[in-house]
Structure 1
Amino acid sequence: MQDTITIRSARLHNLKNITLSIPKNKLVVFPGLSGSGKSTLAFDTLHNEGQRQFMESLGLVTWALSKPQVDAIEGLSPSISVDQHLTNHSPRSTVGTVTEVFTYLRILYARLGHRPCPSCGADVPPSHDVNGSEIWDDESAGNGVSDSALDVETFPCPNCGKPIPEIGMANFSFNKPAGACPTCTGLGTVIQPNLPALVNSDLSIVDGAVNGWDKVYLIPRNSETLKQAGKHFGFDFDPNLPVKQLGELQRDLLFYGVASPQFRRHFPNVKLPDTVSRGYFEGVVTSLMRRYADHIGDPSYREKMGKLLSEQTCPDCQGTRLSQASRQVLIIGQSIIDLSRLPLTELANWLNRLKEILSAEEWMIAEPIAADLRDRVRRLVDVGVGYLTMERSSPTLSAGEAQRLRLAALLGSGLTGVLYVLDEPTIGLHPRDTDRLIRVFKQLRDLGNTVLVIEHDLQVLRSADHVVDIGPGAGKHGGRIVVSGSPDEVAACGDSITGDYMSGRQSVNPPRERRTGNGHHLVISGAREHNLKDLTVKLPLGMLIAITGVSGSGKSSLAFDILDRAARQRFYNASDIPGVHDKIEGWEYIGKVVTIDQSAIQRSPRSNAATYTDAFGPIRETFAALPSAKERGMTARHFSFNVPGGRCERCEGSGVLSVEMHFLPDVQVRCPTCHGRRFKREVLAVEYNGYNVAQVLDLTIEEALNVFQDVPAVASRLGLMTQVGLGYLQLGQPATTLSGGEAQRVKLAKELGRRAVGHTLYLLDEPTTGLHVADTAKLLVFLQQLVDAGNTVTVVEHNLDVMRAADWVIDLGPEGGAAGGEIIAEGTPEDIARSPKSLTGKFLAM
C-alpha cells in the first residue's frame, strides 16, 4: 500500500506546477501567507480530486465534477473537508440538534421523565417498562389528539385514576407540534412591533407621528376615520394632540383598531362600524402585523419592514421553545430545558451523577442512552466547545465553533483510511485550548487517517508530523513549495517566512511605548447579558484595546451584544435591543461606532470584493467611457454581470450553470456559452490597458491596482484593500467563498473608504483570523495607524501578538459559560502577564 499522496504538476489558480509527496496517516500542516495557494492545493486540488475519484469508483456520473488542473494524484484517499462556512442557518437549529445530544436527551426524558397529573397535580412516574416500550417521534405522540385517525394511548393517574396521555420523543421537540410552544411555534421568539420606531409619541397624528403616513393622503384620511370611530363609540378623538397625551381608549384605537381585543374590551356590546368612512379603523400595529404576515416569504419586504419590527423573547415559553406540558417533565428535579441551558462541561457532570441518583430499575433503562450521551458530550468538550449550551442557536455560532462541532462528529464516526482537510480549526480558540484540539487531530490520525490542516498557529505547526510551507509570497508571488519536511526542518529553512517565526528569527514586536489615551472613557455599567456578572467596564478612548479571555468567557456578549447594539440604537436608530445592562456613559466623546465582524458580506455568489466596496462601479464607468464602448453604444450597464444588456444570458452573468446531482449536492459547471467569462463577446472586445472586463475580474486586487492607478475612484478603494492585507484576493472572487477573516477585512476596507466623522470607535471580532504571522504584523501596523489618527480600536482577540501590541487589555474569565463573565485583570499587557489569576497572563508571560 502506498504510504504517500503524490501530487504531480498541480497548476490551478496560482499554483506553479507543484510536485509534492505528502506522508499518509500523519498530521500534516499547510502554513503560508494569505493567498499563497494553501486552500487551492488542499481544497480545490486534493479534496476535490478525492471526491471525484470516490464518486467515479461508485459508478456515479462525474462529468459535472471537473478534474483539477493537475497531471496526476496518486495514493489519494476518499476526502472529507471541514471548512469555515456554516452549513445550517436555520433559526430552528441549535447546538443540541446539530450534535444530536438533544435527540438522545429526548429519548431519556420520554422514558424516565416524571410529570404532574393535569387533573390532580400528583407526581406521575414514567409508564415504560424496563425494556423500554416504543417511544414516538411523530406529531401525534402525546399531543392530546384523539379521533378516529389518531388514537393516543393513555394510562390512569396513580392518584386520581383519570386518563393521562403517553409521551414520546415528539413531546420534547420544538420542531414538532406535540412539543413546540404554540405561541412561537418552537422558535422561542416572536415578531413584535417596535412602537418607538412606528409612532413618535411626541408628535400629533397631523404632524406626522405615524411612520409611513404621508401628509397628502394618509394623514387626512386616517385622521378623519379616527374621528368617525370616536363618534361611533361615543368619545372624542383629537388628531392634533401629541400621541403621548391621548388617553388609554384613544391609544388602543390608534394602535390596535376597532376590531381588536384591546379596544373591544371598552365596548364589548357596541356593533362595529361597517365601513372606513363610518369609522372602521384597522389600527397601526394590527395593520403592520397583517402586512408582515402577508409577505412572510418575501425577504426584501421583511428587510424593508425591519426597523418597524423587532424579535422578542416569546412571552409564553420565555424563549425555551417548548410547550408548558413538556417543560413540566422532570428527571431528578430538572427539566430538559434546565439541561439545555447548562454548558456542555456541566452537562457531562450531570450525566456522570445519574447512576448514583437513579434507582436500579431506572438506571437499567438509562444506561445505554447515558453512555452514548457521555461519549458525544466528551468529544465536544475535547474539541474546545465545552462552554456552549445545547440551546445555543446554530446561526449565532462563529465559523470556528461550527467547524469544531463538525470535527467532534467526525471523531465519533470511527472512519479509517480517510483524508481529512481542515481549514484553520483553531479560529476563536484561546491558547489554553489549542493543546486539547491538537490531541483531537492526533486521535483522528491514530485511527488510520491522514489529517491535513491549513493553519498558522505556531503551537499547531510545532506539533505536526509534517509541514508543507507554501509561498513565498501571495497571489502571483506564491504558489510554490518553499520547504516540506518536519517542523524542525522548516524552522531551519532560511528561505521560509514561516520558519523564521517558528525558530524565533523573526517575531511581532510590541510597541516601544504604550499610549495613555485621550483622557476620556466609555463606561458600561451593570453588564449582565448571558454570563456577564454585573460588570462595570471602562474603555479608555484613544487606545488600541484588546478584550481577551477563554472561549465563552463573555467577550462577545460585552463587545457585540451590549456595546455594538447600544451604539447602533444611538447612532443609527436601529431596532436592535442591546444586551442587559444599566447604562453606557461617554457617548459624547465618540463621533460614530463601526463594527466589523466575520459574518458573510453577502449570501449571493454574484457579490464580490469589488462590488461590495463600490470599486466595480467606477471600473464599469471607466470601460463605458472608452471610445470603443461609445462606438458600440455601450453604457456602464453593459459591463455589469447582474443586469441584462452585456452579460451572458445563458448563465445570467454567473459564469456557471447548476447541475442537479439527484441524491448529492448540486454541482456548478462552467457555462458552455461564455466559458465562465460572464459577458457577451462584443462586451469582451472592449479593453482598458489591454484587459477586458472579464480579465479585470480575474486579476488580483494588487494587479488591478496597477492597471487602474490613474483612476482615483478605483485606486483609492483597491489601495485600502491592499493595506488591510487583501492584495492577493481575486477581484471577482464570489463573496460566498471568502473566509470569515477575509470578509471582515473587506468590510474594514469599505468602512475606511467612508468620510471620517470625528472620533470613531472600531469594534473588531478577531481580525487576525486567517492571517499568517507576517500578515498579522502588517495588520497591526494598520490598526496602530487608525489609533494614531485619533480613533479607538477595540478588538476581541485570542492572538497573543495582538494582545502584546495593545495599549490596554481587559481579560474576562476565569473560564467559559457559567464559570466566566468576570473581569479577571485589566491594564497593560505587562499588568496582565503579572496577574496570578489570569490564564491569558500566563501565556503573555511566556
Structure 2
Amino acid sequence: MNQDKIVIKGARSHNLKNIDVVIPRNQFVVLTGLSGSGKSSLAFDTIFAEGQRRYVESLSAYARQFLGQMEKPDVDAIDGLSPAISIDQKTTSRNPRSTVGTVTEIYDYLRLLYARVGHPTCPTHGMEITSQTIQQMVDRLLEYPERTRMQILAPLVEGRKGEHAKLLEEIRREGYVRVRIDGETLDLNSDIHLEKNKKHSIAVVVDRIVMKEDVASRLADSLETACRLADGKVLVDVMGEEELLFSEKMACPICGFSINELEPRLFSFNSPFGACPECDGLGTRMKVDPELIIPDGSISIAEGAIEPWAGVTSTYYPQLLAAACQHFGVDIDLPVEQLNKVALHQILYGSKGEKIHFVYENDSGMVKEGDVSFEGVIPNLERRYQETASEYIREMIEGYMSKKPCPHCHGQRLHPAALAVYVGGKNIAEVTALSIGEALLFFKELQLSTKEYQIARLILKEIEDRLRFLMDVGLDYLTLDRTAGTLSGGEAQRIRLATQIGSKLTGVLYILDEPSIGLHQRDNDRLIHTLEQMRDLGNTLIVVEHDEDTMRASDYIIDIGPGAGVHGGEVVAYGTPEEVMANEHSLTGQYLSGKKFIPIPAKRREPNGKWLKVYGAEENNLRKIDVAIPIGLFVCVTGVSGSGKSTLVNEVLHKGVIREINHSKVIPGQFERLEGLEHIEKVIDIDQSPIGRTPRSNPATYTGVFDDIRDLFAQTNEAKMRGYQKGRFSFNVKGGRCEACRGDGIIKIEMHFLPDVYVPCEICHGLRYNRETLQVRYKGKNIAEVLEMTVEDALEFFKHIPRIQRKLQTLYDVGLGYIRLGQPATTLSGGEAQRVKLASELYRRSRGRTLYILDEPTTGLHVDDIARLLEVLQRLVENGDTVLVIEHNLDVIKTADYLIDLGPEGGDRGGTVIATGTPEEVVKVKRSYTGQYLARVLARD
C-alpha cells in the first residue's frame, strides 16, 4: 500500500457516482465544485465518516457501548486513511455560559494566573489587601532606625455611631489604661463621653515601644495581643507621623472587606464560589423593558399605548390604569410621547405605596370600590412573572422583557471578591473585555516581579500562544468575553482551527468546511498561512472551499461536478492549480484561469435622490456614525472582519426600520434617528437560518408550492371520485398520511444508553402516505413521487401549470435545481436555506418599495453559482427594490452600484465609515483595505 496517498474506491454517498479518488497525503488539498456537486459528501460523509468509524472500532467493547455502532459509509474501500479531525461550521455552543475565553481554554489559564499572582485590592479604599504573619509585621517594623517611637494599637471601632460605653468598660476590665478615640490618645481612667449620633473610631493602646536592638520579642508579643483583640488587625502609629495597617487575614484593615485564599474557582462565573450572586454568573438579567411596554409613543393610553394593560383578556388592569391616570393627572387621550415624564414614570413604576381611589366593575356588573396601593405597571409585571404558576402568563410577560446587564456586577459575571483581584492593573473581567489583539499586547507588556514571573512564566506562555493562534486565523477583533452563541459558523470554525494549531499534532487528516467564510481578503491571507503551517507539521488538509486565493495557494485541487445534485458526483479535474486551470472540462479551472469571469456592469445605476439615513449609530463598536443608503440600488456594506458591518445592518438598521414600520417589539442597537422611511413599505431579511427545525419542513412547504401541488392532486378525477380534499395530500394531518409513522416516513427507536436509531417506516416504506392516498396520480405520478423530484425535473413536469411553474422557476434561478422538493430542511446548508428564502420572495409581486437585506449570501457558493445569484439580485433592483448586502466576496462587491466601507480595522479600532460611493470611487481611498484588494480586480477585469 502506498503511504503517500489516500485511495478511495467506489464512493457512492448521496449523489457520488461510484467514484475513485486519489488524494496526496501531507499536502494542502482543496475540494471544489458547484454547490451541491458532492464535495461535502466526499469529504465529510465518506472520508471523515470512515475515519471516525475506524477510530471507534479500535476502542474497547466497553467504550463502544457508549458511542454506539457507527454506520459504514457507502464506499468500497479507503486506503491510507489517517486519524481524522473534522473542523466544520457548527456553532461552538449555544450555552450562554460559554465564551470565546472558555472555548479556547484561555480563561482557564487566566483563572490560574489570577489565583497565583493576583493582587487583592479593597474596592472601597483602593489599597492592596495582604495577609501578614506576626514575623512579617515584626520584620517590617525593624526596618525603622533605633530610638524610633511607636504605638501599637488594636482598632476595635471604625467610624461607627454610638456611645460605646460597654466596650470602654470591657477594655478597662482587661487592664488597659489608654485608648485612642478619633485620633486623640486618652487615659481610660478619665471621664470619657461619646456622642450618640456621631461616628467614632476607637483603638486600644496595647504598647508603646522605643526601637532598640532587643525589641523584636516584645514587638511580637504586642502585635499578637493587638491581633487577638482586634480580630487580626493591627494599627501602628510611628512617631505620630505615619500609620501602618497590618492584618493577619486577607482583609482591608480599614473597612474589613475580605477575600478568602485565592484559588482558580474564585474566578469562575460557572462556579458558586466565583459567580455573581445576583445573576448566577450570566452577567444579564431578564427585566421588563419600558420600550416594549410602550412600543409606539405616538398613540395615547386610551388607544392602548401601554400594551400589556390594554385589556386584551381582562378589564381589571385597564380600569386600574384609568384610575391611576386620573389620580396622577395623566391625560389618557394625549400621545404618550407628549405626557409629563414624572407622571408617566409614576404610572410605569408606581409611587412607593401611595394609594389611589379605585372603582372596579367586573364582567358580571359587580362593583368594588376602595383605596388601593398602586405598584406600577412594571413592578406588577415583574412580581407576577416571579409568582405565577401559569406558563401562559410567563410567556406573555416575557414578551415585554429584554436582557439587561446585571446591576450588581454590571455584566462582569463575577463575585465582588473576584473582581477585586488585579494583575497588571486590571481585574480578570477587564482583561476578558479586551479584544484578542489588545489582550496579546497587554500580556506582552505585563510587568511582574522576579518571583511572580517565575510562578507565572508557563501560564503566560500558554495564554500568549493561544492568543497568537487566534490572531493568525483572523479573529483579533473578538473579545474573550464574547458569548459563544453569538459567533458565526465561520468564526466558530476558525476558533477550533486555532485550537488545533496549538495542539501541534502531526500525521493527522484535517477536514475543513469553507474556513474562509466571513473573512475579508486581508484576513484570508493570514488564514492561508495558518493552513500552510499545519501542512508543514506533517498533516494532510482536505479543505472544501470556493475561495480563489485558497485554491491558488493549495498543492492539489479536486474538482467535483460537472453540475449539482443528480448532475454532479463525478471527478471533473484533479491536479495542481495550474493543471486544473488547463483542463477545459473544469468550470472551476476556467474561472481560475480567467477564461470565464463575472463581468463588471457596463454602467452602474446612480442614486435617484431618495435615501434611507441612520444617524448616530453607536451599538457595539460603531462610533456614532451617520450612514446613508441610496434607495433603488444594489448596495454592499464591506470592511474587514469585525469592523461593524453586521452591527450596522442587522442590529441597528434592520431592527430600527421594522420597529418603525411594523411596530415590532424588537429593540434595535443604539442610534439617534432614522430618515427616509417613507421610501420603504417593507423589509425582508434573508438570512442563513434553517427554513425549519424538523424534517417535516422542506423547500416545497416553505415556498408554498406544495399547497398548489396538493390543490392540483385534489382536482384530479380520481380524487374527486373518492371525495378527497386538499388536506388528504398533506403528511402533517390525519387522513392521507401514514398513521404508523404519523407522516414522518421514519420511526425513532429509543436505545436507552445507545444513540436513538431511525429506521424507515415498515408500513409506508418511507413514503409518508397511506396506500389509498398514493393511488391518486397526476400524469402518472403520486404525491410521494412528486416530492422526490428535483426542482429541475419538477419544472419540466409542471411546465403547463403557471402558478407552480413560476415558483419552481425561482428556485431554479437561484441555483437550486438539484434539490428535491421534499428534501428535509435539516439536510439543507445555510447557503441553500438562504436561497430557498430568496426564491420564495422572488415569485411574489413586489411594488418596488421593498428593502432586501442579505448577510453574506455567497456562503457555500461556487463562483458560477454567484454569477446566477447576482442575476437574481439585479432583477430585484431592476424592479425598483433596494438590495443591501453584507459581503466580502469581490465578485459581488465589484458589481454593486454603491459601497459603504467600514473600518479601518476590526473591534475597537473599527466602527467608522472609511469610504462610500461606487467601487471605482472606493478604490481611490487609500485607507480602505477593501479598495486596495478591489483595485486589483477592477484592473484585471
TM-score bucket of the superposed structures, by smaller chain: 0.7 to 0.9
1:101 and 2:106 equivalent?
Answer: yes
Equivalent-residue separation in structure 2 for 1:112 and 1:801 (angstroms): 52
Equivalent-residue separation in structure 2 for 1:753 and 1:278 (angstroms): 61
Residues 634, 89 of structure 1: alpha-carbon distance in 2 compared, 3 angstrom cutoff: farther
Aligned twin of 2:219: none
Aligned twin of 1:155: 249
Deviation, structure 1 residue 293: 5.1
Aligned twin of 1:211: 307
Asked whether the 8 Å contact 2:683–2:851 carries over to 1, the reply is yes
Which amino acid counterpart does residue 157 of structure 1 have in structure 2? A
Aligned twin of 1:149: none
Aligned twin of 2:228: none
In structure 2, runs of 5+ residues without a counterpart are 134-247, 357-366, 937-941
Aligned twin of 1:73: 78
Equivalent-residue separation in structure 1 for 2:781 and 2:585 (angstroms): 34
Please give the residue correspondences for 1:353-364 in structure 2 after superposition, counting only pairs within 5 Å: 353-354=445-446, 357-364=447-454
173-182 or 459-468, larger mean C-alpha shift = 173-182
1:314 and 2:402 equivalent?
Answer: no
Deviation, structure 1 residue 661: 7.3
Equivalent-residue separation in structure 1 for 2:324 and 2:653 (angstroms): 44
Aligned twin of 1:182: 277
243-252 or 679-688, larger mean C-alpha shift = 243-252
Aligned twin of 1:25: 26
Equivalent-residue separation in structure 2 for 1:236 and 1:563 (angstroms): 37
1:166 and 2:171 equivalent?
Answer: no
Deviation, structure 1 residue 583: 2.1
Equivalent-residue separation in structure 1 for 2:131 and 2:658 (angstroms): 50
What's the CA shift string for 1:652-709, capped at 9, x where partnerless?
Answer: 4334445667788656554455443333344334333333333333322222222333
Aligned twin of 1:347: 439
1:456 and 2:554 equivalent?
Answer: no
SS in 1 for 2:307: coil
Equivalent-residue separation in structure 1 for 2:399 and 2:849 (angstroms): 26
Please give the residue correspondences for 1:294-693 in structure 2 after superposition, counting only pairs within 5 Å: 307-354=399-446, 357-630=447-720, 634-658=724-748, 668-693=758-783
Equivalent-residue separation in structure 2 for 1:310 and 1:42 (angstroms): 42
Aligned twin of 2:918: 828
715-724 or 118-127, larger mean C-alpha shift = 118-127
Which amino acid counterpart does residue 623 of structure 2 have in structure 1? K
Asked whether the 8 Å contact 2:120–2:259 carries over to 1, the reply is no
Deviation, structure 1 residue 29: 0.9
What's the CA shift string for 1:617-668, capped at 9, x where partnerless?
Answer: 3333333443444555544444333344444445443344456677886565
Aligned twin of 1:144: none
Aligned twin of 1:36: 37
Equivalent-residue separation in structure 1 for 2:250 and 2:412 (angstroms): 29
Equivalent-residue separation in structure 1 for 2:712 and 2:842 (angstroms): 23
Equivalent-residue separation in structure 1 for 2:426 and 2:659 (angstroms): 38
Deviation, structure 1 residue 239: 9.7
Equivalent-residue separation in structure 2 for 1:662 and 1:464 (angstroms): 46
Deviation, structure 1 residue 824: 2.3
Deviation, structure 1 residue 500: 0.2
Asked whether the 8 Å contact 1:249–1:263 carries over to 2, the reply is no
Greater Rg, structure 1 or structure 2?
A: 2
Equivalent-residue separation in structure 1 for 2:537 and 2:756 (angstroms): 31
1:266 and 2:354 equivalent?
Answer: yes
Asked whether the 8 Å contact 1:225–1:276 carries over to 2, the reply is no
Q: Calculate the aligned-residue CA RMSD, in Å.
A: 3.4
Residues 629, 213 of structure 1: alpha-carbon distance in 2 compared, 3 angstrom cutoff: farther
Equivalent-residue separation in structure 2 for 1:351 and 1:551 (angstroms): 23
Equivalent-residue separation in structure 2 for 1:691 and 1:294 (angstroms): 57
In structure 1, runs of 5+ residues without a counterpart are 129-153, 257-261, 269-274
Asked whether the 8 Å contact 2:92–2:485 carries over to 1, the reply is no
Residues 125, 843 of structure 1: alpha-carbon distance in 2 compared, 3 angstrom cutoff: farther
Please give the residue correspondences for 1:749-828 in structure 2 after superposition, counting only pairs within 5 Å: 749-828=839-918
1:844 and 2:934 equivalent?
Answer: yes
What's the CA shift string for 1:712-736, capped at 9, x where partnerless?
Answer: 4433322222222222223233323
Asked whether the 8 Å contact 1:228–1:277 carries over to 2, the reply is no
Equivalent-residue separation in structure 1 for 2:631 and 2:53 (angstroms): 54
What's the CA shift string for 1:341-366, capped at 9, x where partnerless?
Answer: 21101111112122xx1111111221
In the alignment of these two chains, the number of paired residues is 804
556-565 or 237-246, larger mean C-alpha shift = 237-246
Residues 658, 247 of structure 1: alpha-carbon distance in 2 compared, 3 angstrom cutoff: same
Deviation, structure 1 residue 228: 8.3
SS in 1 for 2:33: coil
Residues 227, 30 of structure 1: alpha-carbon distance in 2 compared, 3 angstrom cutoff: closer
Asked whether the 8 Å contact 2:122–2:420 carries over to 1, the reply is no
Asked whether the 8 Å contact 1:229–1:279 carries over to 2, the reply is no
426-435 or 540-549, larger mean C-alpha shift = 540-549
SS in 2 for 1:473: coil
Q: Once the two structures are aligned, what percentage of the paired residues are identical?
A: 49
Aligned twin of 2:95: 90
Aligned twin of 1:131: none
Equivalent-residue separation in structure 1 for 2:904 and 2:323 (angstroms): 64
SS in 1 for 2:690: coil
Deviation, structure 1 residue 766: 0.9
Equivalent-residue separation in structure 1 for 2:389 and 2:845 (angstroms): 37
Residues 417, 805 of structure 1: alpha-carbon distance in 2 compared, 3 angstrom cutoff: same
SS in 1 for 2:41: helix
Deviation, structure 1 residue 742: 1.8
Asked whether the 8 Å contact 1:615–1:718 carries over to 2, the reply is yes
Equivalent-residue separation in structure 1 for 2:312 and 2:647 (angstroms): 45
Equivalent-residue separation in structure 2 for 1:263 and 1:352 (angstroms): 54
Aligned twin of 2:792: 702
1:116 and 2:204 equivalent?
Answer: no
Deviation, structure 1 residue 773: 0.8
Equivalent-residue separation in structure 1 for 2:805 and 2:740 (angstroms): 32
Asked whether the 8 Å contact 1:37–1:471 carries over to 2, the reply is yes
Equivalent-residue separation in structure 1 for 2:628 and 2:440 (angstroms): 36
Asked whether the 8 Å contact 2:521–2:933 carries over to 1, the reply is yes
Which amino acid counterpart does residue 348 of structure 1 have in structure 2? L
Equivalent-residue separation in structure 1 for 2:812 and 2:312 (angstroms): 50
Equivalent-residue separation in structure 1 for 2:535 and 2:418 (angstroms): 42
Equivalent-residue separation in structure 2 for 1:90 and 1:127 (angstroms): 42
Which amino acid counterpart does residue 783 of structure 2 have in structure 1? V
Aligned twin of 1:285: 378
What's the CA shift string for 1:144-182, capped at 9, x where partnerless?
Answer: xxxxxxxxxx93437459554234333323333333333
Residues 688, 184 of structure 1: alpha-carbon distance in 2 compared, 3 angstrom cutoff: farther
Which amino acid counterpart does residue 27 of structure 1 have in structure 2? F
Asked whether the 8 Å contact 1:34–1:728 carries over to 2, the reply is no
Deviation, structure 1 residue 42: 1.6
SS in 2 for 1:511: coil
275-284 or 510-519, larger mean C-alpha shift = 275-284
